[in-house]
């Protein structure tokens, strides 16, 4: 079996600092704010066994450019492809997250209703927590039923910053 490569690079832009990773099919991982590349290695070991990591900023250029445009308020949607390793249920939840418009939020219950599984709020929350492509698949737009910010792999500070950034977009 041929060994596959995961290209990765650090995105540093203003006060933002996180790692990106992609396979030939598309972006497969966006790391947490200020986390090291070992976060990508742990993801790859769990979800993409048999792949080797290779630092390759050039390969991540198009993804980086879109993310910089987003962080600068010049973009509200992403066009670069993603390659998501997850269960069928996770894929369904992640697809629902893509329907949340920039600058808006939904609750975990809303997402459970949207995918036709209103009783599966906890499973929906777990699938959202497993989203490998933060920002690109906007899990930061999901909040608690009481309106509070809850769980986010990148940390609640990163979630708050992303929501604040988006509150100024589309205005």
Q: What is the pLDDT of residues 61-119, one digit of tens each?
A: 999 999 999 999 999 989 999 999 899 999 999 999 999 999 999 999 999 999 999 99
What is the spatial distance between Cα 161 and Cα 92, in angstroms, rounded to a whole number?
A: 26
Any long-range contacts for 114-122 (C-beta under 8 Å, 24+ apart)? none
- Enter the CATH code of domain 4-71: 3.30.160
Terminal-residue alpha carbon distance, the chain: 51
CATH 3.30.160 domain position(s) in the chain? 4-71
**pLDDT higher than 90, residue 1:** no
- As annotated, the active-site residues are 139
Domain with CATH 1.10.10.10 in the chain: 88-167
**Structure confidence at residue 3 (pLDDT):** 67
| DSSP code of residue 77 | S
Beta strand 106-107 with 51-55 is unpaired
User: pLDDT tens, 125-141?
Assistant: 999 999 999 999 999 99
Is the separation of the CB atoms in 138 and 97 below 8 Å?
yes
Could you give the CA distance from residue 132 to residue 47 in angstroms, rounded to a whole number? Answer: 10
> Could you count the other beta carbons within 10 Å of the beta carbon of residue 167?
13
Q: Whole-prediction pTM value?
A: 0.89
Choosing among 1.25.40.10, 3.30.1130.10, 2.130.10.10, 1.10.10.10, the CATH entry for 88-167 is 1.10.10.10
Q: What is the pLDDT of residue 2?
A: 58
pLDDT computed for residue 169 by the predictor: 64
pLDDT of residue 138: 95
């Amino acid at each position: 079996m041929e060994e596959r490569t995961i290209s990765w690079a650090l995105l540093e832009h203003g006060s933002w600092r996180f790692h990106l990773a992609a396979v030939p099919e598309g972006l497969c991982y966006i790391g947490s704010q200020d986390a090291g590349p070992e976060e990508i290695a742990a993801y790859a070991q769990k979800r993409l066994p048999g792949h080797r990591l290779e630092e390759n900023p050039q390969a991540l250029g198009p993804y980086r450019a879109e993310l910089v445009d987003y962080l600068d308020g010049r973009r509200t949607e992403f066009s670069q492809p993603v390659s998501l390793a997850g269960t069928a249920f996770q894929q369904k939840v992640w697809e629902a997250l893509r329907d949340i418009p920039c600058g808006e939020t939904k609750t975990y219950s809303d997402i459970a209703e949207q995918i036709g599984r209103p009783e599966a709020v906890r499973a929906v929350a777990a699938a959202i927590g497993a989203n490998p492509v933060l920002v690109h698949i906007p899990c930061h737009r999901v909040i608690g039923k009481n309106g509070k910010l809850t769980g986010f792999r990148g940390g609640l500070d990163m979630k708050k910053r992303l929501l604040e950034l988006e509150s100024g977009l589309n205005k």
